[in-house]
Amino acid sequence: MSSLTMTVNGSEVSGDVEDRTLLVEFIREHLRLTGTHVGCDTSQCGACVVHVDGKAVKSCTMLAAQANGCDVTTIEGVANGDLHPMQTAFKENHGLQCGFCTPGMIMSAIDMVNRKGKDLDEATIRSELEGNICRCTGYHNIVKSIQDGASKM
Amino acid sequence: MYNTNYHRAESTDDAIAKLGASDDGKFVSGGQTLIPTMKQRLAAPSDLIDLCHIEAMKGITIDGNQITIGAATCHADVATSKELAAVCPAICDLASHIGDPHVRNMGTIGGSIANNDPAADYPSAMMALNAQIMTNKRTIDTDDFFTGMFDTALEEDEIITAVTFPAPAKAAYSKFPNPASRYAMAGVFVAKLKNGMARVGVTGAGSDGVFRHEGMEEALTSDWSADAIADASVDEGDMLSDLHGDAAYRANLVKVMAKRAVEKAG
């Protein structure tokens, strides 16, 4: 067992967990923040993407203990009163159908803008989405959403 | 995942001590291979000793012509280093195509090389750049380091601390990713060293993991051009053969990727 303390969405949280606990399990089952999803559980789909110390990571492929002491942001932490501009862009551009992949898509999209700037072309967005899988949309409206959301961030 | 005990190492000595105190411990770096493997219950180490917080193992230093990359440096940092891009853009390009953006934020060069996955990208670059692998005990020439699929010259209690290599005159990496997994079905790193020698590292294709192609090296040393290796022979008997591509297909891919890499290097 490990006693963990980390900052999640700006608040300090702590918990005693088995060392094998994945970060996504800690977030969903201990903190009850269920916006972060588990899609494939094999490190491929990106539904579980969160930011750890400002970097996008797959929370199903990291132990909670590895994130001990870190600053974690989940989908619940991106809005500030109103929706985050990237969330609004997904809503306005029909960037989701079932919505299961959307939290990871949005966390990846925000990270993409943080790294690559607001002026993102389609080829860059598609290439940067390599680690996020969507079964519904064929990606077309996701790409449009990211392009729109990026310009408004 | 079976239960395990997680420890954070503060230094290589601390890591070795923690490994020694464990029943069946393993070092973990970015964990982008080991954690999924543990989730599948294909690995069940009693203890995990995390190397990612050892400050001395992080970062990129360039001293004249010599490049040194700390083992705990993540792929994203290699991909985006302006200093590195100025002297060896090929390794930045290689790092920018490993896995996906999230994996690149966690996975490290030391972890990749120590694991020596037959489809990993970095081992081909280490081979072609004639790198030396630095550990807590010694310095190992790359030609002695990779000893077969998932196998290296590392001892149980030995940790890669950094890799070091001279900036090449020219270099490039070209890979053909599996359309589904995106792992290399063939990846070729070509380098023309400043002493004039050409070296060619091949990943993803060999049945015994990463290898150098000496025929192409000789041809490229005398004539650095894609045409020079047009007639190179790649032995099908040395190739992986699986549902993704048979040996003949992979042998041809190696040649095509090598030619593309030489053209890319200019």
Q: Do B104 and B139 have their domain in common?
A: yes
Query: Which residue among B166, B186, B212 closes a domain?
Result: B166
Give the 3-state secondary structure of residue B74: strand
Q: Who among B35, B99, B102 is closest to A63 (CB)? A: B35
CATH number of the domain within which B84 lies: 3.30.465.10
Neighbours of B30 (CB within 10 A): 28
Nearest to B48 by CA among B39, B57, B59: B39
Query: Which residue among B166, B194, B229 closes a domain?
Result: B166
B71 Cβ partners below 8 Å, 6+ apart?
A: B29, B51, B57, B108, B109, B110, B111, B113, B159, B160, B161, B162, B163
Q: Do B20 and B77 have their domain in common?
A: no
A76 Cβ partners below 8 Å, 6+ apart?
A: A9, A33, A35
**Residues of chain B neighbouring A65 (CB-CB closer than 8 A):** 6
Q: Who among B6, B32, B52 is closest to A61 (CB)? A: B32
Two structure tokens written together for A28: 């969903």
CATH number of the domain within which B195 lies: 3.30.390.50
Q: Do B46 and B143 have their domain in common?
A: no
* High-pLDDT (> 70) share of chain A, %: 100
Distances (CA, A) of B230 to A50, B27, B175: 47, 43, 17
Q: Identify the closest residue of chain A to B5 by CA–CA distance.
A: A19
**Res B132 pLDDT > 90:** yes
Confidence at residue A39, expressed as pLDDT on a 0 to 100 scale: 95
* Structural domains of chain A, with CATH: 2-77 (3.10.20.30), 85-152 (1.10.150.120)
Q: Under an 8 A CB cutoff, do A61 and B5 touch?
A: no
Rounded to an integer, what distance in angstroms lies between the CA atom of residue B77 and that of residue A150?
23
**Residues of chain B neighbouring A18 (CB-CB closer than 8 A):** 3
Q: Do B160 and B212 have their domain in common?
A: no
Report pLDDT digits (tens) over B54-68.
999 999 999 999 999
Residue range of the domain that includes B23: 5-50
Q: Do B138 and B108 have their domain in common?
A: yes
**Residues of chain A neighbouring B48 (CB-CB closer than 8 A):** 19, 63
Question: What sign for the dihedral angle of Cα A13, A15, A18, A19?
Answer: positive
- What ipTM is given for this predicted complex? 0.96
Confidence at residue A137, expressed as pLDDT on a 0 to 100 scale: 84
Q: Do B187 and B216 have their domain in common?
A: yes
Give the 3-state secondary structure of residue B83: helix
Per-residue confidence band for A80, with pLDDT thresholds at 50, 70 and 90: confident
**Res A148 pLDDT > 90:** yes
Confidence at residue A132, expressed as pLDDT on a 0 to 100 scale: 97
Two structure tokens written together for A35: 């916006």
Q: Do B94 and B143 have their domain in common?
A: yes
Per-residue pLDDT, averaged over A2-22, amounts to 97
Q: Do B35 and B119 have their domain in common?
A: no
CATH number of the domain within which B33 lies: 3.30.43.10
Task: Give burial (CB, 10 Å; 0-12/13-18/19+) of A126.
Answer: middle
Mean pLDDT of chain B: 97
Instruction: Give the containing element (helix H, strand E) for A106.
Output: helix A102-116
Two structure tokens written together for A46: 């990106």
Per-residue confidence band for A50, with pLDDT thresholds at 50, 70 and 90: very high
Confidence at residue A101, expressed as pLDDT on a 0 to 100 scale: 97
Report pLDDT digits (tens) over B199-236.
999 999 999 999 999 999 999 999 999 999 999 999 99
Q: Who among B6, B76, B102 is closest to A19 (CB)? A: B6
Query: Which residue among B129, B148, B166 closes a domain?
Result: B166
**Res B80 pLDDT > 90:** yes
Report pLDDT digits (tens) over B26-55.
999 999 999 999 999 999 999 999 999 999
Report pLDDT digits (tens) over B143-183.
999 999 999 999 999 999 999 999 999 999 999 999 888 89
Bridge partners of B74?
A: B108
* Helix, strand, coil fractions of chain A, as percent rounded to 5: 40, 20, 40
For residue A149, the distance in angstroms to the closest alpha carbon of chain B comes to: 19
Q: Do B124 and B199 have their domain in common?
A: no
When divided into structural domains, chain B yields a total of 3
